[in-house]
Amino acid sequence: MQNRLLSDFLKKSDISDILDSALQGRRLGLNDCIRLIKSDDVYSMGLVANTLRQRLYGDTITFINNIILNYTNVCITFCKFCAFYRPPGHEESYTVPVEDIVKRVATSREMFGITQVLIQGGHNPNLKLEYYEDAFRAIKQKCPEVGINGLSPSEVDMIARVERSSTKEVLARLKAAGMDTFAGGGAEILEDRVKQEISPLKIKSHEWLRIMEEAHQLGFKSVATMMYGTVDTEEDRARHIMKIAQLQEKTGGFLVFIPWSFEPNRTEIQAEGKIKYPAGGLLLLKMIAIARIMYYGLIPHLQSSWLTNGIGMAQLALNHGADDFGGTLIGEEVVSATGARSTELTSDRIIAAIKQAGFRVAERDNSYKIIKYH
């Protein structure tokens, strides 16, 4: 009855055929995705995406108690969208020693009960693979119950170049050292025209996808990401979504998709006058809804992206298809470098935000297994 009422309502929409196909569980293609992105009917997309989320998870929304450990800001890729990096030798550059990494994780476990550490940094040519292996082994020895969600394809590529090794061998050694899941950032938009303009020294789209596929072949579960709102077009975003979908159909390795909007503050892109303002909340809700519609039955989880859009928009995202609020992100430095907003939340604030939005709250671990309900 409810589905029939929804279908009747959607008949007025310019994308009613696509939304009806999504409700029927049919796999959608590139042209469908482009039409969704070009449509202004965010309300109908949100209704359908929320219906699909409810089918999967009912009224439960998850979050994780975690920290981000940005181990170095030294970077030689000089991405124009980044306010965090510093070139080698810069007076503000840093690399966190392994003993301090372990100390931060152990203290956070003791104080906050974290179950995940997200480890990401710059492309530092001075760090050998042993640095990462030593850090991961030490974390596992001290805090075996904390999941290590680590690195990105571009960081793995950097390590492989330093070691003159293959990316697959680097991934295998990281797995042996204790890395549990592959964090998978650095995709931005998987279109080389966009990459050439915003991050010309970073790995190309096909290399990101190849390294991600290698990780899946080695048994890693991973994160798929998208950063929109730089010089990308609607078609670029659609092609990005489809490339992720195609890899997922092949490997099944993605646990979650996280879209976020570019924050231009203090970046080279803003200084050049190309992008002055963030993309805004309405586009976030559209991208969240489209992700749930396109990835329904394919990628299980969808994060609400509070980090770049704030708590209020993240709450609305829960009614547009997102089933996970993300993490507490204690210690985050990359987005905070833009000065855009506070980039830490306590678990109490996340729990309150989810409850205010009318949902049941569940705390999860690094593998999306529910630990407890709040």
Q: How many domains does the chain divide into?
A: 1
16 is in an annotated binding site: no
Provide the H-helix boundaries in the chain.
2-10, 16-23, 30-38, 42-57, 98-112, 129-142, 153-163, 167-177, 192-198, 205-217, 234-251, 268-271, 281-295, 306-317, 347-356
- The percentage of the chain sitting over the pLDDT mark of 70, rounded to a whole number, equals 94
Q: Which domain holds residue 58?
A: 43-373
Sorting pLDDT into bands at 50, 70 and 90, what band is 343? low
- The percentage of the chain sitting over the pLDDT mark of 90, rounded to a whole number, equals 79
33 is in an annotated binding site: no
Q: Is residue 63 part of a domain?
A: yes
Give the span between the Cα atoms of 339 and 314, in whole angstroms. 19
> What's the pLDDT at 80?
78
Tokens of 331: 């210690």
Q: Is residue 5 part of a domain?
A: no
What value does the mean pLDDT take over residues 343-362?
91
Sorting pLDDT into bands at 50, 70 and 90, what band is 12? confident
Q: Is residue 3 part of a domain?
A: no
Sorting pLDDT into bands at 50, 70 and 90, what band is 339? very low
Give the span between the Cα atoms of 334 and 86, in whole angstroms. 12
Strands 116-120 and 181-182, sheet pairing:
unpaired
> What's the pLDDT at 306?
83
What are the strands of the beta sheet with 324-327, ordered from one edge? Answer: 324-327, 60-64, 360-364, 370-373
> What's the pLDDT at 19?
96
Give the span between the Cα atoms of 321 and 4, in whole angstroms. 20
> What's the pLDDT at 345?
83
What value does the mean pLDDT take over residues 322-330?
92
Q: What is the pLDDT of residues 289-298, one digit of tens each?
A: 999 999 999 9
Give the span between the Cα atoms of 163 and 48, in whole angstroms. 48
* Among 172, 179, 198, residue whose Cα is nearest residue 187: 198
Tokens of 92: 């503000």
Q: What is the pLDDT of residues 58-101, one digit of tens each?
A: 999 999 999 999 999 999 988 777 878 899 999 999 999 999 99
Q: Is residue 82 part of a domain?
A: yes
Q: Is residue 232 part of a domain?
A: yes
> What's the pLDDT at 78?
83
Average pLDDT, the chain: 92
> What's the pLDDT at 335?
47
Q: What is the pLDDT of residues 199-240, one digit of tens each?
A: 999 999 999 999 999 999 999 999 999 999 899 999 999 999
188 is in an annotated binding site: yes
pLDDT at 307 over 90: no
Q: Is residue 15 part of a domain?
A: no
Q: Is residue 20 part of a domain?
A: no
305 is in an annotated binding site: yes
90: amino acid identity, one letter: H
39 is in an annotated binding site: no
> What's the pLDDT at 116?
97
Tell which wins on pLDDT, 300 or 263: 300
Long-range contacts of 342-351 (CB under 8 A, 24+ apart): 343/307, 345/306, 345/311, 347/63, 347/65, 347/112, 349/311, 350/63, 350/325, 351/63
3-class state of residue 202 by DSSP: coil
> What's the pLDDT at 332?
44
> What's the pLDDT at 314?
93
Q: Is residue 14 part of a domain?
A: no
pLDDT at 338 over 50: no
143 is in an annotated binding site: no
pTM recorded for the entire structure: 0.92
* CATH code, domain with 327: 3.20.20.70
152 is in an annotated binding site: yes
